């Protein structure tokens, strides 16, 4: 099984990202599956996903021309475009140096059939390689209930910047130097 890593470049790839996102949304995943497999929280519109991609193309994993994983690139310019993520940018501003050039990894997801096969690590390795000359770090936000995601991010070197509450959620803001 050969999975390849690319930057998203077509509407078809963006549509496949949205489909993979839909099948893993917290509202569509059972409690048992959330604990075992993890989940994603944010549902993006095609328009926002496309605008983000046009600014800094997303990283995708493909197998047989199908997107089987993605890591969304969210430049600072999009801080007002996804309502649920607005507080995250406030916390980033508070805990990082104002001169830090960072990209927010807006969401990462791997198709269930490709989990445990190195795709998560491959997405981040490709993201680091592609973005290392533009950015100093990748920052992302993880719901503490998403134990699989926390463990996966720790395994590739993310460090805790801050834990904070947002509504009824406890969230970890984490950073990876690139």
CATH number of the domain residue 61 falls in: 3.40.630.30
Look up the pTM and report it: 0.88
- What is the Cα–Cα distance from 5 to 125, expressed in whole angstroms? 9
Q: Is 95 helix (H, G, I), strand (E, B) or coil?
A: helix
Q: Provide the domain limits for residue 66.
A: 4-177
pLDDT in tens, 6-16: 999 999 999 99
Going along 17-168, which residue ranges are E strands?
59-63, 66-74, 102-110, 137-143, 159-166
Q: Tell me the β-bridge partners of 31.
A: none
For the residues 39-43, what does the mean pLDDT come to? 68
| Residue 25 per-residue DSSP state | B
pLDDT band, residue 62 (cuts 50/70/90): very high
How many structural domains compose the chain? 1
């Amino acid at each position: 099984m050969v999975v390849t890593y690319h930057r998203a470049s077509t509407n078809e790839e963006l549509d496949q990202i949205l489909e993979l996102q839909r099948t893993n949304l917290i509202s569509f995943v059972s409690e048992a599956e959330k604990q075992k497999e993890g989940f994603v929280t944010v549902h993006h519109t095609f328009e926002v996903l496309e605008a983000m991609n046009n600014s800094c193309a997303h990283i995708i994993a493909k197998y047989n021309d199908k997107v089987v994983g993605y890591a969304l690139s969210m430049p600072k310019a999009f801080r007002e475009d996804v309502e649920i993520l607005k507080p995250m940018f406030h916390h980033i501003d508070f805990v990082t140096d104002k001169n830090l050039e960072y990209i927010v990894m807006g969401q990462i997801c791997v198709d269930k059939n490709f989990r445990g096969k190195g795709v998560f690590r491959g997405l981040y390795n490709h993201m680091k390689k592609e973005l290392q000359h533009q950015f100093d770090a990748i920052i992302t936000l993880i719901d503490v209930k998403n134990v699989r995601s926390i463990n996966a991010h720790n395994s590739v070197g993310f460090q805790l910047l801050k834990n904070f509450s947002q509504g009824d959620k406890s969230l970890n803001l984490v950073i990876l130097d690139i």
